[in-house]
Structure 1
Amino acid sequence: MAAPNITSDQSALLSLKAKITGDPHEILASNWSATSSVCDWRGVTCGSRHRRVTALNISNLGLTGTIPPQLGNLSFLMSLDMSRNNFYGELPNELIRLSRLRVLSLGINMLSGNIPSWVGSFQQLRQFSLKNNSFTGFIPPSISNMSKLETFNLQFNSLQGAIPMEIGKLKKLKQILLDFNQLSGFLPLGMFNISSLEVIALQNNSLSGSLPSSICPRLQGLTWLDLGFNKLSGVIPPSLSECSKLQVLRLFANNFSGVIPEGFGNLTALVELFLRDNNLIGVIPEGFGNLTALKRLHLRRNNLIGSIPQELGNLKLLEELLLGFNSLTGSIPAQIFNISTLQVLALSNSTLFGRLPRSMGYGLINLEGLYLNMNECDGVIPASISNASKLTVWP
């Protein structure tokens, strides 16, 4: 057989074109022509040395079709991006021949079937995304062979089973995105030893177990930890307060118990703190007034007691404050009514008392939802509430 060359690359791409049944912008129909050089086709990049196809980017073109096995003949391909289209069907086994791949992005399509074990043969891969498809089955343990992987994104599929323990071997991972699947079993503890990790997103699965007590010493670069809507239990590790770069911390809708760690006031980079819908007890700890970057604070539906700290009034960027369905008592700190960025203030179903400040409406110019029902507040409703012109929910 003759050695593969640019002609074989052209043949592979024409096979792909032949499988396209929908091309609303007629990009491929008008541009991918055998009468012009394949290196001049839309979305095709050729290497300067061998003049072979090294990258294919046909993302976001509204294409409909299947992926042909001939695509595996693009032997010099380093980047394949077919995301944001309407490709359907299963991944052809012939893709295993793309040994030089560094980027494989097939997200936001309608692909289905299992994730084949041969994906582990992509030992040069840095970015792997099959997000927003209809993949089923299990995550293959062979992923441990992708030793250079930095982004692992399988979110919004229908995957089940446990997260393979082998994921802890991917020592260069920066992002693990497995949220919105049907995964179960325990959290693989080896994952928390990957020092390069910046994002862990596992929301909306059925994962169980507890968080390791020393979660942050090796995760100093962690900016995003989303474990919401799972079946996790145990206490929230106090060592989480050592993840100083955390911007998003979502542990909501689990079975966490115990108190909110005292040191959370040290997480000054936090933009979101979601601890709602758990079994947390104790008081809102001191130091929350230091979280001046915070936009969303959700602590509702726990068993918190004590008063609302006045220092929450220091959070001048706060947009959502949800503290309802606890056993909080005392009066509502007047400072909270001066946070002009507040859009939702939800304090219902507690035992708060006292009167609302007369000037409350002047500070809440962006308020859309105000929930104070099922408390013991008294007095008159301040006339200044009419200044909260965006208010649509006022039970």
Structure 2
Amino acid sequence: MMTSLTSLDLGSNEFNGSLPENLPACRNLRNVNLARNPFHGQVPESFKDFHSLFYLSLINCRLVNLSSTLQILQHCKNLTTLVLQYNFRGEMFPDHPGLHFEKLKVLNVAICELTGPMPSWLSKSTNLQVLDLSWNRLVEAIPNWIGGFTNLFYLDLSRNSFTGEIPKSLTRLQSLSSRDISFDEQSLVFPFFFRRNEFAKRLLNNQSAEFLPTVKLSQNNLSGPIWEEFGNLKKLHVFDLSANKLSGSIPTTLSKMKSLEVLDLSNNRISGSIPESLNNLTSLSKFSVANNNLSGRIPSDLFQVFSGLSFEGNHLCGDGFPQCPLETLDNKRSRTSDSDFVLDFSYGVALGFGLSLVIVVLLTCSAFDLQGK
């Protein structure tokens, strides 16, 4: 056994059978990538002794029994990055109170069609920086404790069936509001990660092509307002709330999110107007408010940068859009009022001049009469 081995990358091969049970015997092995191999079965019990393990990627290995997998891997005391996507199809996301991943910074259990609510044991993984549970079937409300992670800067809960309001605690994520994110640290915990950010090639401030600061809650059944306090997340780059049932107006405070490169509020029930202050988001490379109940004029700067597709399905007006009937009527009323004022003023001046002329004539005639006498 190669006792000095520290990294093992066997991803994207044709290995089959069960996962190798003897890997924990490599006492210095820290990084293991077995992704995209047609294994089957479960994570072996021997992994309980894999104390050197730092990074583990088992993407699309046809694994089953997520409950057993988590029970075993929690014994890996140094485990920092755990990537399990494309496995455990249709299983329940286990919520065993005893589960605890003390040092876990990255957890990806995406695209597994998992059912059930978000498990409460996750709240104890206080070092989480990246959490991706997207493309599952998770239900109920997003728990309020999700905003309590001091270091969390990448959250993807999209394409689930979460209901209720967006937890207001998300507006207080410290790594997205007041703390500096260490991109050097990211490169250490993501040696061969799972998928690129879908907007990475287009983004302007591309400090980390894989993990820009992100909150994605799209394609759920979330309702209620978009909290004004989201404006506190000044370090957020990707903010996607599309395809929910959100209502209310677009907060003007979103203009304080100066780092935003993606803002997608499309396919909701948002009403009111688009705040002019959003013109201040000069780093935006993707923006959409399509298919809502918005009305009024499109802010000119936004319209110049983004196509009409970003605004369609509303009652908006502006260059390139039909005139808003209400705006046309208001303008006509305004112009009518102005014309009436000018006309009334003209009549007043003419009448005053005529009366003055009559008085002068009468006075003159009176003077002549007196002189004649």
* Corresponding residue for residue 17 of structure 2: 113
What's the counterpart of residue 290 of structure 2? 348
Match of 1:41 in 2: none
Cα deviations by residue, 1:323-373 (Å, 9 ceiling, x for unpaired): 1111111101112233221111111111011111334456x4xx5785211
Question: Contact conserved, 2:296 with 2:315, CA < 8 A, in 1?
Answer: yes
Distance across 2 between alignment mates of 1:170 and 1:227: 21
Q: 1:204 aligns with which of 111, 121, 137?
A: 111
What is the distance in 1 between the residues matched to 2:85 and 2:273?
Answer: 39
What is aligned with 2:172? 266
| Higher RCO (C-alpha 8 Å, min separation 6) | 2
Question: Cα offset for 1:147?
Answer: 2.9
1:391 maps to what in 2? none
What TM-score do you get using the length of structure 1 for normalisation?
0.65
Query: For residues 213-238 of structure 1, what are the alpha-carbon distances to aligned partners after superposition, in whole Å with 9 as ceiling and x for unaligned?
Result: 4743x323210000000111121111
Give 1:194's match in structure 2, choosing from 101, 105, 128. 101
- Establish whether residue 339 from structure 1 lines up as the match of residue 281 from structure 2: yes
1:345–1:370 contact (8 Å) kept in structure 2? no
Question: 1:213·1:238 contact (CA, 8 Å) conserved in 2?
Answer: no
Paired residue secondary structure (1:235): coil
User: 1:138 aligned to 2:42?
Assistant: yes
Partner residue, 1:88: none
Superposition map of 1:143-292 within 5 A: 143-163=47-67, 164=69, 165-189=71-95, 193-213=100-120, 215-216=122-123, 218-270=124-176, 271-292=213-234
- Mark the CA change 1:211 to 1:344 in structure 2 (over 3 Å): closer, same or farther: same
Query: What is the one-letter code of the residue matched to 2:4?
Result: M
- Partner of residue 377 from structure 1, selected from 316, 338, 341: 316
Counting aligned pairs with the same residue, the percent is: 31
Determine if contact 2:264/2:287 at 8 Å carries over to the other structure.
yes
Question: Who is 1:78 aligned against?
Answer: 4
Relative to total residues, which structure has the larger strand share, 1 or 2? 1
Q: Distance in 2 between matches of 1:112 and 1:318?
A: 44
1:187 touches 1:209 (CA, 8 Å); kept in 2? yes
Supply the AA of the counterpart residue of 1:145. D
The alpha-carbon deviation at position 192 of structure 1 amounts to 5.7
Q: Is the 8 Å Cα contact of residues 3 and 27 (structure 2) preserved in structure 1?
A: no
Q: Please say if 1:294 is aligned against 2:236.
A: yes
**CA deviations over 1:66-106 (Å, ceiling 9, x no partner):** xxxxxxxxx45421xxxxxxxxxxxxxxxxxxxxxx43332
Aligned-residue RMSD, C-alpha: 2.5
Q: How do 1:56-71 and structure 2 match up within 5 A? A: none
> 2:79, 2:265 → 1: CA distance?
36
2 CA distance for matches of 1:308 and 1:133?
Answer: 46
What does residue 4 of structure 1 align with? none
Unaligned runs of 5+ in 1: 1-74, 80-101, 383-395
Q: Note the C-alpha offset of 1:306.
A: 0.6
Q: 1:240 to 1:223 in 2, by over 3 A?
A: same
Counterparts in 2 of 1:157 and 1:331: CA distance versus 1, 3 Å = same
Of structures 1 and 2, the larger Rg is shown by 2
Alpha-carbon shift at residue 110 of structure 1 (Å): 3.7
**Equivalents in 1 of 2:245, 2:125: separation in Å?**
30
The alpha-carbon distance between structure 1 residues 357 and 369, as it changes in their structure 2 partners (threshold 3 A), is closer
Letter aligned with residue 48 of structure 2: S
Does the CA-based 8 Å contact 1:212-1:237 persist in structure 2?
A: no
Q: Secondary structure at the match of 2:42?
A: coil
Contact 2:93 2:119 in 1 (8 A): no
Give the number of aligned pairs: 282
Aligned-partner SS, 2:295: strand
How far apart, CA to CA, are the structure 2 residues paired with 1:153 and 1:379? 50
Structure 2 runs not aligned, ≥5 long: 177-212, 322-373
* TM-score (normalised: structure 2): 0.69
Q: Which has the higher helix share?
A: 2
